[in-house]
Every structure is written in structure tokens, then in C-alpha cells.
Amino acid sequence: MLTKKIAVLFSGGGSNLEAILERLHGKVFGQTKIEVALTLTNKANAGGIAKAAKYGLKSVVIEHVNFASREEFDAAVVEEIKRANVDLTVLAGFMRILTPVFTSQVRAINLHPSLLPLFKGAHAIKESFDSDMKVGGVSVHWVSEELDGGKIIAQRAFEKSAGISFEEFEAKIHAIEHEILPETIVQILTDKE
């Protein structure tokens, strides 16, 4: 059996990290066992740290505020990822704009809470909700030098019902995220390359 290792990078509560740990960590898909080998955050108070600890994982904390430049921060993150010797890096709510120091060295996917190429950046859920579009959705894409601009791997949409509140809209986005991200990871790691 093949073991494939992933790194998960997060900045906040870690609900997507938890979905990955719950659905994938230590589980077997066909002939492939998936292990989360590294959990890393840029915030010492990120809620995801406690979620990783429940699975016996000690998160690496590299606070971006301690670095003079984005490039220096990215270099430190890349070093940790390389040390973990992973097959795939997953950005699950990692709120950092990455430089070529990262993008040129790390095979990574990102979860984004809109139907890309629409609504890039940190305010995607609000912008998508406020738009005239009749659908909302989630994208998973390869990380590239362009913010939220890499090749799209998976997308899932839902109809924006009349009178839906922002909270309901956001909850729908998160529910889809918790399904589509683990599914996409399995698809990538078990694909006959």
C-alpha cells in the first residue's frame, strides 16, 4: 500500500482542517493511505491548532509578523513543508498572499469560497453574496503566482434562494468546502499519474 502525505496550512478556526483530518487522516482509499504529516499556521492563536491536537498533531506556528518580507516568511514555510516530505500541500483558509518563493517550489492546492475566476481575494463570500449572481459556490485550484488564479480542479455551485441571509449563504459555502476539499485531495492523490 502506498502512503501519501499532505501538509495543511491554515490561519483561523480550522474547520476545513478538521474536515480533512476527520475524512482523510489515516484512512485508505483504494491502494492509497492518506496521512496529514504537517499542520502549519501563521497565527499562534489559530483555532485549528486545537483541532489538529485532537488528532495527535502538533501544529508548526510560523508567524508572518516576525519576518521582514513575504519572501522570508514563505522561505521559512517552504523549509517546513520540505522537511515534512509531503506529496501535496493544501491551503485551507491560509490567509496569506504567496510569493514565487513558495509557488515555484511547492505543489499546492487552495480552497476558495467563490466560483473562480469571479470574486478573488479575502472578501469573496461577501462579494459573491452581494452580487446579482443567482448562484454561489466553491472552487479548488492549483496555487500559482497569480492570486486565486491557478488552474481550477473542482467547483461546486448552489442556487442562491430568494431572501437567503448572509449567514445562511456563508453556512452553505462552508458545508460545500468541507465536502469538496477532502474529495479533491483524494482525487489528486489516488489519480493514476
30 known member of a binding site: no
156 by Cβ neighbours in 10 Å (0-12 / 13-18 / 19+) ranks as: middle
174 annotated active-site: no
The Cα 190–Cα 143 span in angstroms is: 19
At 70, list the grid cell: 513575504
- Note whether 101 and 120 are within 8 A (CB): no
The rounded Cα 22 to chain-centroid distance in angstroms is 15
66 known member of a binding site: no
161 known member of a binding site: no
42 known member of a binding site: no
98 known member of a binding site: yes
Q: Is the dihedral of CA 38, 44, 48, 54 positive or negative?
A: positive
164 known member of a binding site: no
40 known member of a binding site: no
112, 141, 174, 178: which is the annotated catalytic residue?
A: 112
Burial per residue of 41-63, b for 16 or more beta-carbon CB atoms within 10 angstroms, e otherwise: bbbeebbbbebbeeeebebbebe
Residues annotated as part of the active site:
112
List the binding residues for (6R)-10-formyltetrahydrofolate. Answer: 70, 95-98, 110
List the binding residues. Answer: 14-16, 70, 95-98, 110
